């Protein structure tokens, strides 16, 4: 789960990382009331999960109530790279002397935690990494050993921040590591981390991604922050049913078992000239309920003209899948024909079950390629 900036700041605050005083506003009046509370000048910030908010006009400084009204009114409802702004974060404006970058993430290649600190903050760090890699001080933390203060001091020194910032940076980085580990985050990022003219260091932005697999350890955090992620209607319905679904914009609905096969199915539909409407991994136990749920989600998608079900039974047994398809067809009034390919565990039995129901609404194909071609043909090619 990716947190919005304001959630990230609330999350940071739990771990004692200094952030600017501020509050959330969903209307212009709320924005004014928050601004009155924290005191002027304030920064009005669009809460969307996409980079480049500032350039798009989604971050504005306001010196008085009139300016808050003007900016909040302009930013609420604004479209930033396809994300509509529904919420603002209003915070006390900070004087900035210098801007830094700090983060922890999991380095999959080195299989350790990676800490990055740079004196060149406030900009796209990937650009810094590409153009001036030496400007980023990196440390790898072996999770068995953990991170101690002495190592952080060395690391901060290596980053060549303004020496005035060193003490504050050490303190914040230790806290940042703590919240990364304790909260099972996959990313914690502060960009910019700022030094103020009076020598304080604090977080001006917050980017936090939490590991869904670890939510059982963090029920309170998930309860607080969940449910606000940007999802389209189809994705919302699928998520509520516990399906691995990603909405795309084509006309061939896709159901497959296993993420790899589902991706491969999206690919092959594209390859034979079609446009997939979605990615849907129905997972291991594809029983009738799962199948009915998956079909009902895809059925709500008005663009769908054909549904390609691609199952390779390993964990999943094809006879169970076949029964699920038959039952689902009875439960869900499908707008599009099904094109089914079954192989693997109990494929013979599965095909035998489907054969009894074969029609122009339920077409069976012996392999992935011919099934994709048929599905695309029925969906009307690239339409």
Q: Could you tell me the smallest distance in angstroms from the CB atom of residue 186 to other proteins?
A: 6
Q: What is the C-alpha separation between 62 and 145, in angstroms, rounded?
A: 46
Instruction: With H, G, I as helix, E, B as strand and everything else as coil, classify residue 158.
Output: helix
Q: What is the C-alpha separation between 252 and 310, in angstroms, rounded?
A: 12
Q: What is the C-alpha separation between 173 and 262, in angstroms, rounded?
A: 40
Among the listed residues 5, 91, 98, 189, the single catalytic one is 189
Closer of 37 and 271 to other proteins (Cβ): 271
CA 120 to chain centre: 26
The H-assigned helical ranges of 164-308 are: 166-182, 219-225, 233-240, 259-271, 288-299
Among the listed residues 6, 11, 100, 101, the single catalytic one is 101
Q: Could you tell me the smallest distance in angstroms from the CB atom of residue 272 to other proteins?
A: 9
Residue with tokens 């501020």: 22
Q: Could you tell me the smallest distance in angstroms from the CB atom of residue 279 to other proteins?
A: 6
Give catalytic status of residue 101 as yes or no.
yes
Q: Could you tell me the smallest distance in angstroms from the CB atom of residue 91 to other proteins?
A: 27
Instruction: With H, G, I as helix, E, B as strand and everything else as coil, classify residue 347.
Output: helix
Selection from 176, 161, 157 nearest residue 120 by Cα: 161
Cβ contacts of 150 within 8 Å, gap of 6 or more? none
Q: Could you tell me the smallest distance in angstroms from the CB atom of residue 238 to other proteins?
A: 12
Cβ contacts of 29 within 8 Å, gap of 6 or more? none
Closer of 164 and 289 to other proteins (Cβ): 289
Closer of 218 and 357 to other proteins (Cβ): 218
Q: What is the C-alpha separation between 13 and 7, in angstroms, rounded?
A: 10
Q: Could you tell me the smallest distance in angstroms from the CB atom of residue 50 to other proteins?
A: 9
Beta strands in the chain (DSSP E): 22-25, 42-46, 59-62, 79-80, 83-84, 88-92, 98-107, 112-118, 136-141, 185-195, 201-203, 207-210, 244-247, 252-256, 278-281, 306-313, 338-344, 362-364
Binding site for other proteins (CB under 8 A): 106, 108-109, 111-113, 126, 142-144, 181, 184, 186, 211-214, 216-217, 244, 246, 248, 256-264, 266-268, 270-271, 276, 279, 281, 312-315, 343-345, 367-369
Closer of 49 and 196 to other proteins (Cβ): 49
Closer of 29 and 267 to other proteins (Cβ): 267
Closer of 275 and 323 to other proteins (Cβ): 275
Give catalytic status of residue 239 as yes or no.
no
> Which residues carry out catalysis?
101, 189
């Amino acid at each position: 789960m990716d947190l919005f900036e304001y959630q990230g700041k609330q999350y940071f605050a739990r771990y004692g990382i200094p952030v600017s005083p501020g509050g959330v506003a969903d209307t212009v009046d709320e924005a004014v009331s928050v601004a009155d509370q924290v005191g002027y000048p304030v920064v009005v910030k669009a809460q969307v999960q996409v980079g480049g908010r500032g350039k798009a006009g989604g971050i504005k400084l306001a010196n008085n109530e009139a300016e808050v009204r003007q900016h909040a009114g302009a930013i609420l409802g604004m479209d930033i790279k396809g994300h509509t702004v529904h919420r603002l974060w209003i915070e006390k404006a900070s004087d900035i002397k210098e801007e830094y970058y700090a983060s922890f993430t999991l380095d999959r290649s080195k299989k350790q935690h990676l800490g990055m600190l740079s004196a060149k903050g406030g900009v796209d760090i990937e650009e810094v990494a590409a153009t001036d890699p030496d400007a980023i001080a990196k440390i790898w933390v072996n999770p068995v050993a953990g991170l101690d203060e002495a190592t952080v001091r060395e690391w901060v020194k290596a980053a060549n921040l303004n020496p005035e910032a060193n003490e504050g940076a050490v303190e914040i980085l230790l806290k940042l590591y703590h919240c990364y580990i304790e909260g099972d985050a996959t990313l914690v990022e502060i960009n910019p981390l700022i030094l103020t003219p009076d020598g304080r260091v604090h977080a001006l932005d917050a980017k936090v991604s939490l590991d869904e697999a670890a939510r059982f350890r963090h029920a309170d955090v998930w309860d607080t922050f969940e449910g606000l992620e940007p999802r389209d209607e189809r994705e919302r319905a699928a998520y509520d049913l516990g399906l691995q679904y990603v909405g795309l914009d084509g006309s061939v609905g896709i159901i497959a078992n296993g993420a790899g096969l589902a991706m491969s199915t999206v690919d092959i539909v594209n390859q034979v000239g079609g446009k997939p409407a979605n990615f849907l991994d129905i997972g291991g136990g594809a029983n009738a309920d799962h199948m009915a749920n998956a079909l009902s989600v895809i059925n709500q998608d008005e663009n769908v003209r054909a549904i390609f079900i691609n199952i390779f039974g390993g964990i999943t047994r094809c006879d169970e899948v076949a029964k699920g398809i038959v039952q689902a067809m009875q439960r869900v009034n499908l707008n599009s024909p099904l094109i089914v390919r079954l192989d693997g565990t109990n494929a013979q039995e599965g095909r035998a079950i489907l054969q009894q129901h074969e029609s122009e609404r339920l077409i069976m194909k012996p392999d992935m390629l011919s099934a994709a071609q048929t599905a695309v043909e029925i969906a009307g090619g690239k339409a």
